[in-house]
Amino acid sequence: MILVMKPTATEENIQSVIQNVKQCGLDAHLSRGQDITIIGVVGNKHIFLEQNPELMEGVEKIVHVSESYKLANIQFHPAPSVIDVDGVKIGGDNFVIMAGPCAIENEALMMEMADVVKQSGAQILRGGAYKPRTSPYSFQGLEEEGLHYLAEAKKRTGLCTISEVTSIAAIQAAKGVIDIIQIGARNMQNFELLKAAGKSGIPVLLKRGMSATIDEWLNAAEYIMAEGNENVILCERGIRTYETSTRNTLDLSAVCVLKSKTHLPVIVDPSHATGVRNFVGPLAKAAVACGADGLMIEVHPNPSKALSDGPQSLDPPAFFALCEELKPYIALAGRKFIHV
Amino acid sequence: MILVMKPTATEENIQSVIQNVKQCGLDAHLSRGQDITIIGVVGNKHIFLEQNPELMEGVEKIVHVSESYKLANIQFHPAPSVIDVDGVKIGGDNFVIMAGPCAIENEALMMEMADVVKQSGAQILRGGAYKPRTSPYSFQGLEEEGLHYLAEAKKRTGLCTISEVTSIAAIQAAKGVIDIIQIGARNMQNFELLKAAGKSGIPVLLKRGMSATIDEWLNAAEYIMAEGNENVILCERGIRTYETSTRNTLDLSAVCVLKSKTHLPVIVDPSHATGVRNFVGPLAKAAVACGADGLMIEVHPNPSKALSDGPQSLDPPAFFALCEELKPYIALAGRKFIHV
Amino acid sequence: MILVMKPTATEENIQSVIQNVKQCGLDAHLSRGQDITIIGVVGNKHIFLEQNPELMEGVEKIVHVSESYKLANIQFHPAPSVIDVDGVKIGGDNFVIMAGPCAIENEALMMEMADVVKQSGAQILRGGAYKPRTSPYSFQGLEEEGLHYLAEAKKRTGLCTISEVTSIAAIQAAKGVIDIIQIGARNMQNFELLKAAGKSGIPVLLKRGMSATIDEWLNAAEYIMAEGNENVILCERGIRTYETSTRNTLDLSAVCVLKSKTHLPVIVDPSHATGVRNFVGPLAKAAVACGADGLMIEVHPNPSKALSDGPQSLDPPAFFALCEELKPYIALAGRKFIHV
Amino acid sequence: MILVMKPTATEENIQSVIQNVKQCGLDAHLSRGQDITIIGVVGNKHIFLEQNPELMEGVEKIVHVSESYKLANIQFHPAPSVIDVDGVKIGGDNFVIMAGPCAIENEALMMEMADVVKQSGAQILRGGAYKPRTSPYSFQGLEEEGLHYLAEAKKRTGLCTISEVTSIAAIQAAKGVIDIIQIGARNMQNFELLKAAGKSGIPVLLKRGMSATIDEWLNAAEYIMAEGNENVILCERGIRTYETSTRNTLDLSAVCVLKSKTHLPVIVDPSHATGVRNFVGPLAKAAVACGADGLMIEVHPNPSKALSDGPQSLDPPAFFALCEELKPYIALAGRKFIHV
C-alpha cells in the first residue's frame, strides 16, 4: 500500500503518518520528491486501514498494490485448478460444454433436451428452475419440481447437471439433487447467498455481475472459497455497456485477464451475452480460441415456443452442427473434449 | 408493441404473423412502407410474447412501447405518493434527511450519533447493521445487535430508523425493531429479497443497482409492490461508469426521469455516490435543487476512525453546517423540512 | 511514479531497475514488503518513461501519482481563473448564462433570439454555425454565413457570442467575428484542432468528450494552454453511460472534481446532456447549487420547428421563467449575475 | 418511423399529427390500443423530421425502425465488399494482417520492421507518423518524414502501407505516398476529416470511436462513402467501459453485428484494445474465429525501447510465432491468407 502525500503536506504531517504506520506494527518507507512525497507501507495492513489513512492530515490518496483475494489468487496457487464434478473434469486441459434450455418448462421437454445434449457430446445439462426475471409478471420457473426433472434427466443420460439458485432455500433444495449450482449475474454480490453456497460444499458456477470488475468477481469467489468450498467455476456472460446492438458486451479479454490472476476455470456463455442466436456460434469459437475452459449454450427444441430467452437459443440441429464445428477449434487450443 | 418486419419478409410471412397475433386475441395494425413494414399489436400481450415473436419468420425486431411495471407507474397513479413512516412523511411537499454512520460500530457511538442527528433537525437515523462488503475479510457488521441499538436510539430521540437488510432472516429481525428497511444496490435484483420485503409490509428504501436502468429499478420496486407493500422509497446512489475520479457517477437526471415515470418518492445519497467528503455538500444542494424528496448522508463522530467508508463521512460540525446551508435550498424548492 | 515489482522479482531484477532509474538522473526509493516490493521514483520522469519500465524484468505495474497537465493544474495555480471576454467575466464569483438556438437557421431567427437572450439577462449568445451531425444527410449548418449573423446580433444587443468550430478553417473564419469558440464533445481529442485553437488566442469553451475522463479533458485543455492561450472554459455536457432514458448522463460530480483539480471555470449544459426540455430547468438549478460558474442553455422561438435538437430547446417564455427562478439559486451560491 | 402517442392524447391531437404526416407526403397508419395509440409513418421522412414530431401535442416518443446509413447498409448491398489495395484484397474470403510499430521512430527501425513483417507473411505494413497523444508533452510523431519512410519500406519489400492521419493536411501528405489512411478512434466523429478522407479517394481504415455505437460508426463510414469513396474498412479496437484491467474492452460481438449490418470488411486490433502484450495472441485467434477479415498487430524490434505503446507490442520472434499459430485458425474459418 502506498500513501501519496499532498504537495502541501508539512514535515509534521509526514512524521505523524509514519508514526501511525509504525504503531500498527508496519514498516514505512519514505520517498521524497520535488512535488510529491510518497510513503510505502509494508506488512499486514488490516489494522492500519481501519484508521482510514485517507483522512490523515496531509494524505492525498492511497494506492493499493496487492489484491484482497487470497484463495482465488494465482500467486498463491500457480497451477490451474481442475474441478471434478462427478467424474467430469473442468479446467486444466479439459474442455466442457454445458447446454440445455434457459428455463425448465416441463418434464417431457427436459428429457428431450437431455437426449439432445447427450447426443451432442456435451457433458453437462443445464436448465433453469428458479428464474430471476426483471418483471414480477414474467414466468418465474418451476422451482423444486424443476430440479427433480434435472435429476431424472441425469438418471436417463448420465449427464452432470447445473441449475441456478436464487435463495438459501434453493441451495438446500439443490443439495444431493443436482451437481453444480449456479449463482447468476444479479446475485454475484448477494453475499449471504455466496456464503451459503460456500457452506453447501456443492460445486458453484459463479457468473460475473452485469457491471462487476474482475477484482470484484474474484472477491465474490473468495466469499465462497473462504467457507471451505474451493470448487468454484467462473462464467463470463457479458457486461453492461452503452452498446445496445447486443444484450450485453461479451468481454473475452476477461478470459485472458482471469488466466493471469486466478487458477479457477473459466467458462463463457455467448447465449446470454449477446441475446442473438446467430452470434452464438462465432463467439463460442472465439471463446475456445482465446483460452476458455468451456462453454454454456442455450438449446431449446423449439426456440419460438420457449418460455424464456427463446431468441438466443439454438435448436437441436444448429446445436449439433456447432458442436461439430467447435471440435477442431478445441483441438487447436490443445484441449480434450471427452464425452461422458 | 410493434413488430418490425424484415425488408425480405414475404406477404405470406406478414399474414402468418397477423394470424398469430389475432389467435392470441389481439389486434394487429399493418403499416406497409417502401422498405419496411410494421405491425402494431394492441391488447394484453402476455400470451403472444410467450410465442417469441422475434423468431417468427420475417420478423426483424420487436419494439416495446409501454412499460412492464404498473403499480409504480405514474400513468396509473398520477399523484405523488406520500409515505408515512411513524409520523414522518416522505414525498409530496415534504423534505427528509436520513443521516448516521455507515456501519453501527457499538452502542455508545450509535447514541452519540442519534443525538447529533436529532440536533441537526434530520428526521431519520441510519446505521448499517448488515454490511455487504466486496471482500469477505472486511468488517461485516454487528447484525441483529446493531438493529437493537437503533431501536434504543429511537427511544432516546424519537427519530425514525433505517438499516439495510441483506437476507430474509435480516428482514425478520428488523420487523418491529426499525422503521424502514433498505435494500442495497447489490441486492436490487435479488428478487427473493424483494418479495420478502414486499411481504413484510415494512416501508422499503430501494437503492438503485450499480448498473441498473431506471426501468429495471422501477420493475424491482414493482416486485415489492406486487406483494401488497406500496411503501417504497427510491434512492439514487450513483451508477457505474468509466469515470474513476468519483466512486460512482451520481445521476441527478434520474431524479427528473423518475418524477416523470413514477409517483414514488426519490431520495439521493451523495455520500456513497461520490465517496468523497468534500463533494457531499455541493451535491446535496444540487439534489434539493433538482427536485429530490430527501437526502441520505453519512455522518460519523470521528470519520478517521470509522470502520466503514470513513472518507465519505461528515463529522458532526460539518453536518450541522450542511443542514443549515440546505434549509434555504429546501425552501426555494417549495418543500417543508419539519423536525420530529 | 511507483514501480510495483512482481512477487517473483529477483534481487537482480530489483537492482537492475534501480540502476536504470538512477541512470536517468532520478532517485529510487526502495520499500521491501513480505509479498511485494515497491520502488518510488522521484524527479522528472520523461526520459525514464521512454524506456517503458512496464517491460523491465520483474516489474508488475506502474502507478502514476501525479498528473501530466501542468498549466491547467490547480496545484500550480491555486486561485480560480477569471476569463474576460470583451468585458464579461467568466469564473471567480461571477455567474454567466450562454443561451441561444442549437443551430443558426437564418438571420431573422438569430436576431429574434438575440433579443430574447438580451431581455433575459443572459450575457452570452450562442448559435451553431458548423453542426457536427451523426448522419451525413442531416442539416450541417450555415457555416461562415452563420458566424456573421452572430456578429450582427452582437452589434444589435451588445451580447458576447459563442459558436462551435469543427475545423481549422472555421477557427480562421471565427477570428475577429465571434468572441468565444467552442470545441465540441466529438472533437475534444482532435488535437490538431486544439492546437489551432490554442494558437488563435481566442477564448475557448472546451466541451467534455462523450466518454472522456476528467484527466483526459484537462489534458485536452493543456493542449490549448500549451500554445499560449490560457482562456479556456470547461463545459460538462453529459457522458455516455448504459442509461438510455436521457441522451447522456449529466455528471454534476465532475463540477466538484474539477474545482478540486483545476483553476479553470466550469460551465454546465443541461440541454445537450439530457435532450429533454422538461429536465433542463431542474438540472440548471442543480448545476448552480453544486458550484458551476455558468450555464449553456438552448432556446428556440419555436422548438417544434427547430432544424436541430428542438426537443431539448426551451421556448422564450420558458427561458425567461427559468432565468427568474435561477436568480435566487445564484444568489444563494454566492455568485453575481451581472447583465451586460 | 413510429410515433407513440401519450395515454392522455386527445382525438384532436391524433388527427392533427396524422394531418401533419400527410402534408409531408407520407402515409400514416393508426393503431389504437387500450392504453396506447401508435401511428406508423411510411415514406421519406426527411421533411417530416424537420418538424420535430417529438414536440407535437400528444406525442410521447418516436421510434426509428430503419437505419440512417444507406451506402454502408447490407440491405442495399448484400454481397461483402472486397477492397483492392494495390493488389491486396481485403474482405470476402481473404484474410489480411497489418503489422508494424505503433510509431515510426526513425528510418532504420522502419526498414527493420518492414523486413520482419514481410518475412511473417503479413501483407500490410503499419507505422504511425502522426500520433494523437493524450498529453501535449508526449512524443507526437515524425509526421511527413514518417510517411516517406513507409514509402521506402514499400519499395524495399512490396508491402502495402497504412498510417493514421489526423488532419486534412496529413491526408494531402499521404496521397500517393501510402496505400491506406487510417482514421483513429478519437477522430471517428471528426466529420471534416471524414469528408476529406472521402474526397481523397484513398482507401480508409476507420477505427471505432472509444464510445461509439455501431450505428454511429456506420454513419461515420457513410460520411466517407457519401463523398464517393467506397473503399472503407472498419476496425474494432476496444470500447470504453468501467473495467480497468484492460485498456479498453475488445468488443468481438461487434464483428458479428457488423457482418449482419454492413458489407464492409472488418479488422480487429487486439493490441490497442488490451494494451497488454500477453493478451494479443489469444484475442487475435478469437478474432479470426468469430469472422474478422483481418488483424492489426503492433510489432516492435525492442518493445522496451518503443517511444509509444511498447507494453502492447510483440517482438519479432513472438510475432512470427503468432502468425504461424494463426494459420490453422484462418484455414478453419475458411479464409485465404495470401502473402504478397
Determine, for residues D136 and C222 on separate chains, whether the beta-carbon distance falls below 8 Å. yes
Give the pLDDT of residue A53: 82
- Cβ-contact C191, D166 below 8 angstroms: yes
Determine, for residues D34 and B42 on separate chains, whether the beta-carbon distance falls below 8 Å. yes
Q: Does C2 contact chain A (CB < 8 Å)?
A: yes
Q: Which residue has the higher pLDDT, D43 or C326?
A: C326
Is the alpha carbon torsion for C222, C228, C233, C239 positive or negative?
negative
Q: Does C133 contact chain A (CB < 8 Å)?
A: no
pTM of the model: 0.92
Determine, for residues A223 and B136 on separate chains, whether the beta-carbon distance falls below 8 Å. yes
Give the pLDDT of residue D251: 98
Nearest to D294 by CA among D338, D249, D230: D338
For C313, which residue in chain D has the nearest alpha carbon? D55
State the DSSP H helix or E strand holding residue C204, giving kind and residue range, or none if neither. strand C204-207
Determine, for residues A137 and B305 on separate chains, whether the beta-carbon distance falls below 8 Å. no
Q: Does B133 contact chain A (CB < 8 Å)?
A: yes
C-alpha cell at A95: 474442455
Report domain A74-332's class: alpha beta
Q: Which pLDDT band holds residue C34 (cuts at 50, 70, 90)? A: low
Each residue of B4-59: pLDDT tens digit? 888 788 889 999 989 888 888 888 888 776 667 888 887 767 777 777 787 888 88
Please give the average per-residue pLDDT across B283-312, as a whole number: 90
Each residue of B48-63: pLDDT tens digit? 777 778 788 888 888 7
Give the pLDDT of residue A134: 87
Residues from chain B that touch A248, judged by Cβ atoms under 8 A, are none
Give the pLDDT of residue B35: 65
CATH of D2-63, one of 3.40.50.720, 3.30.230.70, 3.30.60.50, 3.30.70.1140: 3.30.70.1140
Residues from chain A that touch B167, judged by Cβ atoms under 8 A, are 168, 192
Residues from chain C that touch D305, judged by Cβ atoms under 8 A, are 50-52
Residue D247's CB is within 10 A of a number of other CB atoms, namely 21
For A292, which residue in chain D has the nearest alpha carbon? D282
Residues from chain B that touch A191, judged by Cβ atoms under 8 A, are 132-133, 136, 166, 186
What is the identity of the amino acid at D225?
A: M
Domain ranges of chain A: 2-63, 74-332
Residue C27 above 80 pLDDT? yes
Give the pLDDT of residue A57: 86
Please give the average per-residue pLDDT across D35-60, as a whole number: 77
Q: Does A269 contact chain D (CB < 8 Å)?
A: no
Q: What is the CA radius of gyration of chain D?
A: 23
- Cβ-contact D214, A245 below 8 angstroms: yes
Q: Which pLDDT band holds residue C126 (cuts at 50, 70, 90)? A: very high
Q: Does B7 contact chain D (CB < 8 Å)?
A: yes
Q: Which pLDDT band holds residue D134 (cuts at 50, 70, 90)? A: confident
Give the pLDDT of residue D26: 83
Residue D309 above 80 pLDDT? no
| Of A217-221, B63-67, D160-164, minimum mean pLDDT range | B63-67
Nearest by CB: B242 against D30, D34, D241: D241
Give the pLDDT of residue B140: 85
Q: Does A223 contact chain B (CB < 8 Å)?
A: yes
| Of C103-117, D2-16, D217-231, minimum mean pLDDT range | D2-16
Q: What HEC string does chain A produce?
A: CEEEECCCCCHHHHHHHHHHHHHCCCEEEEEECCCCEEEEEECCCHHHHCCCHHHCCCEEEEECCCCCCCCCEHHHCCCCCCEEECCEEECCCECEEEEECCECCCHHHHHHHHHHHHHHCCCEEECECCCCCCCCCCCCCCCHHHHHHHHHHHHHHCCEEEEECCCHHHHHHHCCCCCEEEECHHHCCCHHHHHHHHHHCCCEEEECCCCCCHHHHHHHHHHHHCCCCCCEEEEECCECCCCCCCCCECCCHHHHHHHHHECCCEEECHHHHHCCHHHHHHHHHHHHHCCCCEEEEEECCCHHHCCCCHHHCECHHHHHHHHHHHHHHHHHCCCECCCC
For D273, which residue in chain A has the nearest alpha carbon? A253
Q: Does A257 contact chain D (CB < 8 Å)?
A: yes
Å between A239 CA and nearest CA of chain D: 9
Q: Which residues of chain A have pLDDT under 70?
A: 33-35, 44
Determine, for residues D46 and C190 on separate chains, whether the beta-carbon distance falls below 8 Å. no
Nearest by CB: A257 against D246, D273, D291: D246
Across the C:D interface, residue pairs with CB atoms under 8 Å apart total 107
Residue C32 above 80 pLDDT? no
Please give the average per-residue pLDDT across B102-120, as a whole number: 95
Residue D47 above 80 pLDDT? no
Nearest by CB: B250 against C242, C253, C291: C253
Q: Which pLDDT band holds residue C8 (cuts at 50, 70, 90)? A: confident
Percent of chain D with pLDDT over 90: 72
Å between A191 CA and nearest CA of chain B: 7
Determine, for residues A75 and C33 on separate chains, whether the beta-carbon distance falls below 8 Å. no
Determine, for residues B134 and A219 on separate chains, whether the beta-carbon distance falls below 8 Å. yes
Determine, for residues B166 and A192 on separate chains, whether the beta-carbon distance falls below 8 Å. yes
Nearest by CB: C63 against A63, A66, A242: A63
Determine, for residues D43 and B33 on separate chains, whether the beta-carbon distance falls below 8 Å. yes
The Cα C287–Cα A198 span in angstroms is 47
Interface of B with A in 60-89 (CB under 8 A): 68-69
In this prediction, the answer to ipTM > 0.90 reads yes
Residues from chain D that touch B40, judged by Cβ atoms under 8 A, are 2, 29, 31, 33, 38, 40
Residue D240's CB is within 10 A of a number of other CB atoms, namely 25
Residues from chain C that touch D48, judged by Cβ atoms under 8 A, are none
Determine, for residues B51 and A304 on separate chains, whether the beta-carbon distance falls below 8 Å. yes
Please give the average per-residue pLDDT across D35-44, as a whole number: 75
Residues from chain A that touch C211, judged by Cβ atoms under 8 A, are 242
Give the pLDDT of residue C249: 98
- Cβ-contact D177, D158 below 8 angstroms: no
Residues from chain D that touch B209, judged by Cβ atoms under 8 A, are none
Please give the average per-residue pLDDT across B96-125, as a whole number: 96
Determine, for residues A34 and C43 on separate chains, whether the beta-carbon distance falls below 8 Å. yes
Complete DSSP assignment for B178-218 = -SEEEE-GGGTT-HHHHHHHHHH---EEEEPPTT--HHHHH
Neighbours of chain D (3+ CB pairs under 8 A): A, B, C
For A308, which residue in chain B has the nearest alpha carbon? B50
Q: Does B216 contact chain C (CB < 8 Å)?
A: no
Å between B70 CA and nearest CA of chain D: 12
Greatest distance between any 2 Cα atoms in chain D: 76
- Cβ-contact B185, B207 below 8 angstroms: yes
Å between B84 CA and nearest CA of chain D: 30
Determine, for residues A55 and B303 on separate chains, whether the beta-carbon distance falls below 8 Å. yes
